[in-house]
Amino acid sequence: MAVDQATKKLYNERIGQQKLQIAEYEKELAAYKKAMTTNKKLKPFFHLGNISQLLQIVNLQMEMNEISEQMMQVKNNSFLDNARKNLYKIFADLDAVVKGDVDESIDFNRDELDKIAPFNPKQRLNLYRHIRRAIDKLIQAYGQNTKWLWSFPELYSKSAVLGKNLIDFREVQSKRDPREEFFYDRKELVQLVKDDLLDASNRYRDKYEISTKATGDLIMAIKLLDGLRRVATVVKDDAMAAKAKTGIESYKARIESEKDEKKPVAKK
C-alpha cells in the first residue's frame, strides 16, 4: 500500500525522538569503550554498562518498527536487523564478563565471577530478564516469515548459556537459607536458566528435524541438555537431571543410528 508524503513526514517526526535517544546511548557506549583502556580493574563493569545501553537501543529500535507498522502498515526490517545485531553485541559483552562457553564445568569461570561480586544476584536476575524479554519481543516482531527464522535457536541458546554462567553456584550451594539476602533472586534465576536451557535445546532439535537435518544442530541440543543436567545436579533437581540425561542419550543414539544408515552397504 502506497504511503502518502504527509504520513511519511509525520512518521519521521515520530521516530525522531527515538533516534535522538539512540544517539545519546551511543555516546555512552563510546565513553565506556574509552574508559576500558584506562581502568582494567573496572573493565567487567564497563561491559555491563555497555549491555545496559545496548538493551535500551534494542528496545528503541523495536519501538521504531512498531511505529512503522502502526503508521505505515509496513514492517521496518532495517530497525529489526539492527536490533538483532545489537543483541549479538550484548552477548559479546556478557561473554567478556562471564564467558559464554556451553560445555564447561559448572564452576569454570570462578575468577570472572569474583571480579563482579558487587553485581549482586538481584541485579543479575534483572539483567537476564531484560535480555530474555528483548529476544522474545524481537522474534515476535520478525514473525514466522523471516529469513532469520532458523537463527533464533542461537539467540535463545546464547542467552541461556550466558545466564547460566552469570550464576555463582558456590553461593547457590552455600546460601540455602531462605532468610539469606538474595535467596529468592538466586532461586528464580536458576529456575529461569533451567527452563531456558531446555527450551533452547528443544529449539535446536526442532531446527534439526524441520529444517537442516544437520548433525551439528543435534549436537548443540545435547550440549544444552548437558548444561541443564549439570545445573540440575548442583541444585538437587533430580527429576530434571534425569530428564536431561534421557534426552542426551536419545539424541546420541539418534546420531549413531543415522551414521549407520549413511554407511555404504557392503557388497556381497
How confident is the model at residue 259, as a pLDDT? 80
Task: List the chain domain ranges.
Answer: 144-255
pLDDT, one tens digit per residue, over 69-107 is 999 999 999 999 999 999 999 999 999 999 998 888 898
pLDDT, one tens digit per residue, over 242-255 is 999 999 999 999 99
In the numeric block, which cell numbers belong to residue 51? 549491555
The model's pTM is 0.94
Percent of the chain whose pLDDT exceeds 90: 90
How confident is the model at residue 4, as a pLDDT? 85
Residue 254: HSE in the Cβ half-sphere, 13 Å Cα cutoff: 18
Q: What is the gyration radius of the CA atoms in the chain, in angstroms?
A: 22
How confident is the model at residue 142, as a pLDDT? 97
In the numeric block, which cell numbers belong to residue 267? 557388497
How confident is the model at residue 262, as a pLDDT? 73
How confident is the model at residue 265, as a pLDDT? 55
Residue of 94, 66, 213 lying closest to 155 (CA atoms): 94
How confident is the model at residue 186, as a pLDDT? 98
Taking 50 as the pLDDT cut, the residues of the chain under it are none
DSSP secondary structure of the chain: ----HHHHHHHHHHTHHHHHHHHHHHHHHHHHHHHHTT-STTHHHHHHHHHHHHHHHHHHHHHHHHHHHHHHS---HHHHHHHHHHHHHHHHHHHHHH---SSS-TTTTHHHHHHTTTS-HHHHHHHHHHHHHHHHHHHHHH-SSSTTGGGHHHHHHHHHHHHHHHS-HHHHHH---TTSTTHHHHHHHHHHHHHHHHHHHHHHHHIIIIII--HHHHHHHHHHHHHHHHHHHHTT-HHHHHHHHHHHHHHHHHHHHHHHHHSPPPP-
